[in-house]
Amino acid sequence: MRLARISTAKGPIAGEYDDGVVHADGDTYVVGEDGHLMAPCDPAAIFCTGRNFGAKISQMGEGDQPDRPDWFIKPPHALHPPEHPIQYPDWVSEFTYAGELAAVIDERCHDLAVDEVDDALRGYTILNDLDAYDQDRRTARKAFDGSAPLGPWIETDVDLDGTAMRTIISGEQRQSATTDEMLFSPSEIVAFLSERYTLRPGDVVSFGSPANPGLLERGDTVQITYEGVGTLRNTVE
């Protein structure tokens, strides 16, 4: 099942997405006619994992492989909807993409065991970890307005064994990997973070970028696909 949120004249509506239509409480809303897709959840925090693919660590010179998950947090105002243009910040000279799988928390939870994580998740979606790469330190680079495009929906039934991904920038494939290349699995990362934070419904946890994150230019189209989840698509203005 695909769960989506659509912005309508009635306000935000959440329901089941099927072939361009959101079904909610007996009503139907056609995407593009009755409204546009929003980010599929409303997180209090977006927890992002760094250095979770060995090939990227080597490529970017990020040091030794970590012995526990490495993470940072984007605030709610970083959230950005699918299909809506990304604004290239005026104060940035190096602006980069990174295609990441992300989970959405479904219930308030704390200190989960790894085998308890699946029951606490609403499902999976896709995040573009935008990075103002020439700025100092992670917060300045990653926590600005619109730095977390998310969507297009939440897929509730996903098999993560060997899930393939690809990132295509203006028709050119830039990233290609599978979830088998992750150093820490999604369940391990969510369990680890839940030791430190009380996770809330709608919170997002992303699981890191494969090798070849790279520069964006104004006019680029970004398409990030995770097999069995969907494709997050935005253009850059």
Q: What's the CATH number where 21 sits?
A: 2.30.30
Contact 148, 77 (CB under 8 A): no
Same domain flag for 43 and 120: yes
Could you tell me if 126 and 43 lie in one domain? Answer: yes
Question: pTM, whole model, 2 decimals?
Answer: 0.97
Give the residue carrying structure tokens 């979770």: 52
Are 33 and 44 within one domain?
no
Residues 69 and 159 in one domain: yes
Buried b (16+ CB within 10 A) or exposed e, 145-175: ebbbbbbbbbbeebebeebebbbbbeeeebb
**Which residues, at least 6 apart from 117, have a Cβ–Cβ distance to it below 8 Å?**
186, 187, 190, 191, 194
Residues 47-57, buried b or exposed e (16+ Cβ, 10 A)? bbbbbbbeebb
pLDDT digits (tens, 9 = 90+) for 59-114: 877 878 899 999 999 999 999 999 999 999 999 999 999 999 999 999 999 999 99
- pLDDT per residue as tens digits for the range 183-228: 999 999 999 999 999 999 999 999 999 999 999 999 999 999 999 9
Same domain for 69 and 2: no
Place of tokens 């709610």: 76
**In a shared domain, residues 32 and 56:** no
- pLDDT (average), residues 12-17: 98
237: β partners = none
Helix (H) or strand (E) segment spanning residue 138: helix 137-142
Per-residue confidence (pLDDT) for residue 170, from 0 to 100? 98
pLDDT score recorded for residue 146: 98
What is the spatial distance between Cα 106 and Cα 109, in angstroms, rounded to a whole number?
A: 9
Please check the confidence at residue 56 and state whether its pLDDT lies above 90: no
Residues 125 and 222 in one domain: yes
Q: Which domain holds residue 191?
A: 39-235
According to the model, what pLDDT value does residue 45 have? 98
Question: The CATH number of the domain where 122 resides is what?
Answer: 3.90.850.10
Same domain, yes or no, for 106 and 142? yes
Mean pLDDT of 165-191: 97
Residue 177 confidence (pLDDT) above 90: yes
SS3 label, residue 127? strand
Amino acid at 219: G
Residues 165 and 119 in one domain: yes
- Identify the sign of the CA torsion 104, 20, 210, 100: negative
Q: How many distinct structural domains can be found in the chain? A: 2
**Across-strand partners of 85?**
none
Residues 147 and 190 in one domain: yes
Instruction: Give the total residue count for the chain.
Output: 237
Token match 């099927």: residue?
Answer: 18
At residue 55, the pLDDT reads 81
User: Do 20 and 79 sit in the same domain of this protein?
Assistant: no
Residue 75 is given by DSSP the state: -
Query: Computed from CA positions of residues 141, 225, 200, 47, in that sequence, does the dihedral angle turn out positive or negative?
Result: negative
113 with 56, same domain: the answer is: yes
For residue 179, the Cα-to-chain-centroid distance in whole angstroms is: 14
With cut-offs at 50, 70 and 90, classify the pLDDT of residue 175: very high
Q: What are the pLDDT digits (tens) for 106-144?
A: 999 999 999 999 999 999 999 999 999 999 999 999 999
Q: pLDDT at position 57, please?
A: 80
